[in-house]
Chain A
Amino acid sequence: MIWHITKREIYDNLNSLRFALTAVLLLALMLINAIVYLRGHPDRTQTYHDATAEAVKKLEERSTSLYRLATEGPGHLYKAHSSLRFCAEGDEVFLPTRVSGENYFSDIANVRPLWRLSHPQETPNIYNIRPDFTTMDWAFIVSYVLSFVAILFTFDSVSGELERGTLRLILANPIPRHTVLVGKFLGAFISINIPFVIAVLMNLLLISTSDSVQLNAELWGRLGILYGITILYTCIFIALGLLVSAAVRESGVSLVVLLLIWVSFVVFMPNTLASIGSRTSVPMAYMEFWSEGNRLDRETRKAYEDKYGDSQSTPPVHVIAEYLTIDAEESEYFAEKYLNQQITQGKRARAITRISPAAIVQHLFESFAGTGLERHLQFIENAKRYAREYRDFVIDTDRADPMSLHAIGVPKGMSQKRVSPEAIPKFKDTLSLSRDFNAAAMDLFLLVLFLVVLLAGAFLAFVRIEV
């Protein structure tokens, strides 16, 4: 019986204007998404490859001596970019693409400070005078367009029949009410999914046949998960549509209510709430960070000079080495503190937006597409781990040489042997699906919760409706 009602709903929808408009809109959006992505992808890959190749070359040049490796550092560490960027470009545009492991410092009284990890502060947006816009990625198409379509498909599904009087006819048959509701739900769900799936397949067809993108099994798996999230999200809005449609007896009113809910939850809430949330934890101003960092550097330097008298007589190499290590460690620690403040602000902003399902979907898409904040945090962690590994490598290589004085950062105090370029650890940025799952578990749970509550509401409203 359910299938009967579903079929009727689908036939009704397939013949309607909204179905045709939806199909055209989704197809156009998905095709444009693929074309825009494919236009930018080769350039992005090329830039990344060039940059990493350049970094490796520089590192190998430095391998002439261990001293150079110790002071000049491993160079820039670049973030590998995800092939699924077309699913959720997210804040990828605003986030830095690298962590810097270069040495920008000039000598102070014949001592060259050690390299340290630093995080670029400039956002490219500061010079961007083009008008604001949202990227047409899957996340946008799903969270904005698909939810809008879901509302347009369901706003009159109960109230419309009530107005036309056909609901009375259906319920006159010996069918339980929940069967009717499930039938309507499935009907709307399938009619929305037909154009969406076609559009997605066209999109993937374009992308997978292009030479520049290789989609492997893991990526297909991720795409599958993204589709699952889409299903969940569409169901939420279908349930909402049925709920309002059953609770309100007029289609016109039902539409207005739904549109207002949609506008507030999808368009306004994510941004307004983020702006409120970001105020709960404001990082120090960059100027403050900069001057405080300088002050710390000077303090370390002063402590060192106070301890070992005037700079005229050269202190023993171990003393210099100790100072250099402390200096680099403290400055790196301080930079990390600032970065953590910024990240906390970003996290707070995102946490509070979880009231809106649209924002949850945006987060989920970012996590599974390997873009956005979660991905960036993974990258920073990878970079930090690599920095430790690199430092350990320098210390261990130095230790292995019995001729060395083991004073890291002092030209004459370190091993003079050549380092083989192959032995130096190279940075490799990786993504892990299990970590993404962990980060997304909470969001998935919230989505399911939304769905259950709305479905229960729709059920209650429909059961109690008077015909």
Chain B
Amino acid sequence: MLKILIRRELLNNLMTFRFAAVMLITLLLVVANTAVLIQDYEQRVESYNDAVKIHYEGLRKAKTYSTMYLFVDRAPNPLSIFNVGLDKRLGNLIGIWHGFVPTLWDTEMHGTDNPFIAFFSSIDIVFIFEVVLSLMGLIFAYDAIAGERERGTLRLVLAQPVRRGQILLAKYISAMLCLLVPLLLSLLFTLLLLIRSIPLSPADFFRIGSIVFASFAYLSLFYLIGMLISVATRRTGTALMLAMFVWGFLILVYPNLIRATINPGGNIQERVNTVNNQIQRIVDEYERDRKKFLKNEGIAEGSRFHEVLGLYTQASVDSANMMSYIENLTDISETPPDFERYISLAKRYFDFVEPLTIRTTERVWFIRKQALDDIFVRQARMDRILLRLSPVGMYDAATQTLAGTDLLGLRDFFEATRRYRKIVIDYFYAKRAFGSREWFAADKGAVDWSTFPEFVFERSDASVNAARALPDLFLLIICNLVLFMGILLIFTRSEI
């Protein structure tokens, strides 16, 4: 019986104008935007490659350890074509230095970052689906029950020995089969375009597969919302208007509204100030220890020693992003005649000060990490949670996590930069770089960079992404089930 019902519904749906129109527009939008997105991605990869090359050469030009410029670039994520998330927006260039623990708040951009085009949001495939699939679901669903009720065919069907649940199920299955056609077909085109220009790993295909699954759950959710409206109203006209306004509210209004009205930040400035004070105390301690060392060695501030080494220390806190600056600038271009006299002292000085710097920055990092989490991350998380009240929020969060362009995915990168900093420091210790002449002067041979550790970053495993996206996917599925149960309940109790 179910089979007959499904066949009838399928024929009803497939032969309609709306099916053809929806199919056409989805394909058109997805293919056109994929072409644009791929070009954009390639441009980003190009500027990434340029940046990596420049930074590689820049490091090898340095003659002393203390004047090295070590930068790490973040490669664009190929899955940003599906959901761009934070991939394009956040900085992708960061310095690595023992006196500084890198976070995403200290980044710069290696490509063009033009404020005059920042207003235009980049349309990724998930965004197209967010808008088009939801509309499709509602258009197919609004008259599913109400229409039959108006035409009187529902009565006819129910006169047969069919259970009401079966009718609903048949309608749901057939509509989903229809709607899957444009979804899968457009994704197929996207993949064909993608494979031609971007190399994808098997893990990426798994991720894309999961994104398709999330899209399906999202589509089904909107179909069920439409069906709920259709079951609850008596007339198609009313059902249509309700469906459209619900769509407008959930897609257009709510996601923007919630961000504009809710401001969970509280008094950020006060928090920043206390943290800055805490950090300033640590930095002051550093300065005290450093001065004590100099005093023990019998060197006065601003003496010939400082002048010869071109030494000046700036130990301060950046009030904007709570960064501590502890710098020892030692750029010696030409050695004065009395240089040799200060060599052993300088070696001892740097051997003492640089490890002290490392310890200080790590203490600062401990405080800073908590503050950054409190001030920025908590706010972003709050936004995300509130967004989840609309299916768009769930779908967006799930696909972003799967693509690895969400906050967690990006934080993986900064974790890696912090690990790399540790590796570099270990390398310095192993080479005894701090106490060496090459730390500050290159007159007796420059630094050998050939054994310097390279930075490698692998995006997290697909299973990790899947595990992170699981709560959102689960939420989507639960919503689907709850809606279906609700529809079933209303439908079985309603009078025809």
Q: Please report A residues at the B interface, Cβ cutoff 8 Å.
A: 16-18, 21, 25, 29, 32, 35-36, 90-91, 94-96, 121, 123, 125-136, 140, 144-145, 148, 152, 156, 250, 252-253, 255-257, 259-260, 263-264, 267-268, 270-272, 274-276, 278-279, 282-287, 342-343, 345-347, 349, 353, 372-373, 376
Given A17-B238, A148-B248, A94–B139 Cβ distance below 8 Å? no
Q: Which one, B39, B104, B110, B260, contacts A287 given CB within 8 A?
A: B110
Within 8 Å by CB of A345, from B107, B116, B244, B249, lies B116
- How many residues of chain B are within 8 Å of chain A by beta carbon? 73
Contact A127 B91 (CB under 8 A): yes
- Please, which residue of chain B has its CB at the minimum distance from the CB of A267? B131
Q: Which residues of B contact A25 (CB under 8 A)?
A: 245, 248-249, 253
B372 to chain A, nearest CB (A): 10
Chain B's closest residue to A96 (CB) is B115
How many whole Å from A311's CB to the nearest CB in chain B?
13
What is the interface of chain A mostly: helix, strand, loop, or mixed? helix
23 A-B contact pairs sorted by A residue (CB < 8 Å): A16-B241, A94-B119, A96-B115, A125-B118, A127-B104, A127-B376, A131-B383, A136-B256, A140-B256, A148-B252, A250-B17, A253-B18, A255-B139, A256-B21, A256-B22, A268-B123, A270-B120, A272-B123, A275-B122, A275-B123, A278-B120, A283-B112, A285-B110
Contact with A275, one of B105, B120, B131 (Cβ below 8 angstroms): B120
Task: Given A257-B21, A286-B112, answer yes or no on A135-B260 (Cβ-Cβ < 8 Å).
Answer: yes
Q: Is the CB of A129 within 8 A of B248?
A: no
A17 near B242 (CB under 8 angstroms)? yes
Given A36-B261, A126-B91, A129-B377, A264 contacting B51 (CB threshold 8 A): no
Contact of B380 (CB < 8 Å), options: A18, A131, A136: A131
Question: In the bound complex, do residue B18 and residue A125 qualify as a contact, i.e. CB atoms below 8 Å apart?
Answer: no
- How many cross-chain pairs have Cβ atoms below 8 Å apart between A and B? 192
Q: Note all chain A residues with C-beta closer than 8 A to B109.
A: 126, 286
Asked whether B261 lies within 8 Å of A342 as measured between CB atoms, the reply is no
Evaluate whether A17 and B241 lie within 8 angstroms (CB atoms) in the complex, with A123-B115, A127-B104 already known.
yes
Instruction: Point out the residues of chain B lying under 8 angstroms from A35, CB to CB.
Output: 261
Q: Are A129 and B90 in contact (CB under 8 A)?
A: yes
Q: Which of A131, A144, A284 contacts B252 (CB 8 A)?
A: A144
Asked if B168 lies at the interface with its beta carbon under 8 angstroms from chain A, I say no
Interface string of B223-249 (1 = CB under 8 A from A): 000000000000001101110110011
A276-B36, A282-B112, A286-B112 known; A18 vs B376 contact (CB < 8 Å): no
Other than the given A252-B143, A264-B28, A267-B131, 15 more pairs (CB < 8 A) read A94-B119, A123-B113, A133-B260, A135-B260, A263-B25, A274-B120, A275-B36, A275-B123, A278-B114, A279-B43, A285-B112, A287-B54, A345-B112, A345-B114, A346-B117
Q: Is the pair A283, B114 in contact by a Cβ cutoff of 8 Å?
A: yes
Contact residue among A264, A282, A349 (Cβ-Cβ distance under 8 Å from B120) = A349
Query: Are A131 and B387 touching (Cβ within 8 A)?
Result: yes
How far apart are the CA atoms of A156 and B21 in the complex, in Å? 18
Whether, in the assembled complex, B391 has its beta carbon less than 8 Å from a beta carbon of chain A, the answer is no
Q: Is the CB of A346 within 8 A of B116?
A: yes
Kindly state whether residue B135 has any CB partner on chain A within 8 Å. yes
Residues of B within 8 Å of A136, CB to CB, are 253, 256-257, 260
Shortest distance between the CB of B153 and any CB in chain A (Å): 16
- A347 to B238 CA separation, bound complex (whole angstroms): 44
Which listed residue (B50, B89, B132) contacts A285, Cβ 8 A? B50
- Judge whether B191 is part of the interface by a CB distance below 8 angstroms: no
| A372 cross-chain contacts in B, Cβ below 8 A | 119
Beta-carbon nearest neighbor of A29 in chain B: B253
- Assuming the A-B contacts A145-B248, A256-B18, A275-B36, are A127 and B112 also in contact, with contact meaning beta carbons closer than 8 angstroms in the complex? no
Tell me whether B380 and A133 are in contact (CB under 8 A): no
Chain B residues lying within 8 Å of A152, measured Cβ to Cβ, are 241, 244
- Shortest CB distance B478–A (Å): 22
Chain B contacts of A278 at CB under 8 A?
114, 117, 120
Cβ A94 vs Cβ B86 within 8 A: no
Which residues of the other chain, A, contact B245 by a CB distance below 8 angstroms? 18, 21, 25
Convert B12-47 into 0s and 1s, putting 1 for each residue whose CB lies closer than 8 angstroms to a CB of A: 000001100110010011001100100110010001
Write out the residue numbers on chain A whose beta carbons fall within 8 Å of the beta carbon of B33. 268, 272
- CB pair B118–A123 under 8 Å, yes or no, is yes
Chain A residue, CB-CB nearest to B90:
A126
